[in-house]
Amino acid sequence: MGTIIDLSRAESYLDREELKEARAKAASVCRALYEKEDKDKVLGWRTKEASVLQLAEIKAKAEEIRREADVFVIVGVGGSNQAARGVIEALPRPEGPEIVYLGNTLSPYTIRKTLEGMEGKSVYINVIAKNFETLEPGSHFRILRQWMGSRYDREEMARRITVTGTKGSRLEEIAAENGYLFLQFPVPVGGRYSAFTPVGLLPIGAAGLDVDEYLAGMAAACQDCRENGEDNLAVRYGAVRQLLYRRGYDIEMLVSFEPRYGFFAKWWVQLFGESEGKEKKGIFPTASIYSEDLHSIGQYMQDGRRNLIETFVSVKDPGASVVVESCPEYGDRFDYLDGMDFAEINRAAEAATWEAHSRGGVPCIRFEVDRASERSFGELYYYFMVACAVSGELMGVNPFDQEGVEEYKRSMFAALGK
Ligand code: PA5
């Protein structure tokens, strides 16, 4: 197991006995997660067996996309694109198709610009929509089919379109009627828990990233969560954030000093926001990328209302080196940096922020990975999914539904005459 957690600066806000009790409770919720029957059909993400479907087909299609496409369009919104995007945008990729995202906006400007960017290029698409009822991916699929229809014949189009949806959905029927490859979105997996299903796997493979390593990360975290009772990372994190919540810490900010974790942070916000924010409960999840955001939100973190938890995602090896060379002739007064590597400078900024914020009254938590890699993303995704499921249960909400999201849709559909 590569990921480690440092809870010392959060546990210091809590009472020992209370912490012991909370960990035991969280461990029992976690154990039940693996032992109970999945009656409500929401736990398909727990194991590799239930979530990793059609791997051979996915790998073959990913190879073809890499070989043939100039542009690969991932059409999906929320849980249907965030996990893949989190890894794809963070890791260096071998040469291959440009990856673009649609199905996640209603902005005509963005749609038009994306279509213009595809002009004259070889395009493959993957439409991901669990029940094929969401407006954004559904409407974009129509636009893209029409766009492709005027450039490719029926057979060529069939090769270039892959759809990922649930069995029995209209999307499956459309795939069968038109000869598109159909990948399963397992019924017992909600969008935001779909990182290890075909929803995440085809885009990650088509981006040229190592799907097996990613799944190895998942397997390692899964083993930790199943076998290590009170000591696994998800339980330890889940217990501490629940206790802090009860003490009035109701905002949690995920922060990273690596901008490439920006889309990962968006995934994390969605996971916790949609899973916990219900029945007038929940820790409000938000995210910042430092050091840029230290110059905006940093003031509030240091000195604002004390209801904040700060969760750092740290990367030991940044994977690059930039040394500040000395140049006395400029007299810019930055000579104290001479000879230093930005790896060291960034690390110093992170350590200073951790110190200052925790001293200023912010419980700080740190997840640390050795380096950004398929494996470490596999671990992080899995740990946070289990922690979220455990945390939701402890909070007394259903972490697997999202009834609240339907509310705005009802008004929107009424306005659009659905
Ligand atoms: O986590 C969730 O369930 C949601 O965020 C969904 O992923 C999102 O609403 C997209 O749903 P669908 O795949 O049905 O279009």
Cα 325 to ligand 1 centroid, rounded to whole Å:
49
Is the minimum distance from the CB of 199 to ligand 1 under 6 angstroms?
no
What does the DSSP 8-state code read for residue 231? G
Cα 256 to ligand 1 centroid, rounded to whole Å:
26
pTM above 0.95, yes or no: yes
- 343 contacts 318 by C-beta, under 8 angstroms: yes
Which of 11, 136, 252, 274 is labelled catalytic?
A: 274
Q: Which ranges of the chain have pLDDT less than 50?
A: none
Ligand 1 atom nearest residue 199's Cα: 13
Whether the link from the prior residue into 291 is cis, omega within 30° of 0, is: yes
Cα 79 to ligand 1 centroid, rounded to whole Å:
5
Is the minimum distance from the CB of 241 to ligand 1 under 6 angstroms?
no
Is the minimum distance from the CB of 402 to ligand 1 under 6 angstroms?
yes
Cα 402 to ligand 1 centroid, rounded to whole Å:
9
Q: Residue 74 pairs with which residues in a beta bridge?
A: 101, 126
The reply to whether 20 belongs to the active site is no
Ligand 1 atom nearest residue 138's Cα: 15
**Measured between alpha carbons, how far is residue 267 from residues 195, 197, 270, 302 in Å?**
10, 15, 5, 25
The reply to whether 295 belongs to the active site is yes
- Ligand 1 pocket mutation pick from 77, 167, 193, 268 by most atoms within 8 angstroms of CB: 77
How far apart CA 43 and CA 51 sit, in angstroms, is 9
Cα 197 to ligand 1 centroid, rounded to whole Å:
14
pLDDT of residue 1: 58
Per DSSP, helices labelled H in 119-167 are: 135-149, 154-160
How far apart CA 298 and CA 138 sit, in angstroms, is 40
DSSP 252-315: EEEEES-GGGHHHHHHHHHHHHHHH--TT--PEEEEEETTGGGGTTHHHHHHS-S-EEEEEEEE
How far apart CA 39 and CA 129 sit, in angstroms, is 23
Which of 39, 280, 295, 418 is labelled catalytic?
A: 295
Query: Which residue in 51, 93, 90 sits closest to 72, CA to CA?
Result: 93
- 379 contacts 262 by C-beta, under 8 angstroms: no
Q: Residue 99 pairs with which residues in a beta bridge?
A: 72
What is the residue extent of each domain of the chain? 4-36+214-403, 45-210
Is the minimum distance from the CB of 314 to ligand 1 under 6 angstroms?
no
Is the minimum distance from the CB of 80 to ligand 1 under 6 angstroms?
yes
Is the minimum distance from the CB of 166 to ligand 1 under 6 angstroms?
no
Query: Which residue in 282, 281, 302, 278 sits closest to 290, CA to CA?
Result: 302
**3-state class (DSSP) for residue 369:** strand
**Measured between alpha carbons, how far is residue 251 from residues 82, 278, 326, 394 in Å?**
21, 14, 43, 17
- 257 contacts 349 by C-beta, under 8 angstroms: yes
List the structure tokens of 247. Answer: 């003490």
List the structure tokens of 37. Answer: 């029957």
CATH number of 45-210: 3.40.50.10490
Residue 59 CA, distance from chain mean position = 21
- 309 contacts 250 by C-beta, under 8 angstroms: no
**3-state class (DSSP) for residue 71:** strand
CB-count burial class (<10 Å; 0-12, 13-18, 19+) for 17 = exposed
How far apart CA 198 and CA 162 sit, in angstroms, is 11
Q: Between 3.40.50.2000, 3.40.50.10490, 3.40.50.261, 3.40.430.10, what CATH number should domain 4-36+214-403 receive? A: 3.40.50.10490
The reply to whether 409 belongs to the active site is yes
How far apart CA 59 and CA 28 sit, in angstroms, is 37
Residue 232 CA, distance from chain mean position = 20
What does the DSSP 8-state code read for residue 397? S
